[in-house]
Amino acid sequence: TLGAEVTLVAPPTLIPVGVESWPCSVSYHLDDALMQADAVMMLRVQAERMEGSYFPSTLEYSRLYGLDAPRLELLKDRAIVMHPGPMNRGLEISADVADSSRAVIVEQVANGVNVRMACLYLLLGGASSEAGGD
């Protein structure tokens, strides 16, 4: 976690088995977690992978776990909003929040490409950082 205090927030039916061994705390209450956060990472609801009763209705999920304008106001003044994309606007994040000045989503996605390229380069035998300090 690189020193970060991570809180995983989700409906109980979507919390992974074994999460108690992860270096994070778990909450089922988004509003409480938002007030403590310096950064909020929203993730896409992958409805195509949901079956049966594991996922609440989209309306219920959005109401309980969606990041909207009123919830954005709960964040600290300097807190940022992240989302790796693609996103379901209106479900896990509202359009106005995704497009707000607090969102760093465009920068995050752009940097993600560079990070993946660097990882692939190193994994495929690219030059090490010990090679000359350039």
Residue listed under structure tokens 């993946």: 116
Tell me the H-state helices in the chain.
30-34, 58-65, 69-72, 95-98, 105-123
Q: What is the pLDDT of residue 94?
A: 97
- CB neighbourhood size of 54 (10 A): 11
Residue 38 lies in a domain: yes
Would residue 121 count as lying in a domain? no
Name the pTM for this structure.
Answer: 0.82
Indicate whether 132 pLDDT > 60.
Answer: no
How far apart (Å, rounded) are the C-alpha atoms in residues 107 and 80? 12
Q: Is residue 123 part of a domain?
A: no
pLDDT at 134 exceeding the cut of 60: no
Establish if 122 belongs to a structural domain: no
Asked if residue 1 is part of any domain, the answer here is: no
Mean pLDDT value across residues 87-104: 96
| 128 belongs to a structural domain | no
- 74-87 pLDDT per residue, tens: 999 999 999 998 99
- List pLDDT tens digits, range 23-66: 999 999 999 999 999 999 999 988 777 766 677 788 999 999 99
Calculate ∠ Cα 19-27-33, nearest 5°: 130
Q: Give the domain extent around 65.
A: 7-105
Report the CATH number that the domain containing residue 23 is assigned in CATH. Answer: 3.40.50.1370
**Residue 64 falls inside a structural domain:** yes
Q: What distance in Å separates the CA atoms of residue 122 and residue 119, rounded to the nearest whole number?
A: 5
> Which residues 6+ apart lie within 8 Å of 97 measured at CB?
67, 68, 69, 71, 72, 81, 103
Number of domains observed in the structure of the chain: 1
Structure tokens at 47: 């409805």
| Alpha carbon of residue 116 to chain centroid | 17
Q: What is the pLDDT of residue 130?
A: 60
Asked if the structure places residue 44 within a domain, the reply is yes
Q: Is the pLDDT of residue 13 over 90?
A: no
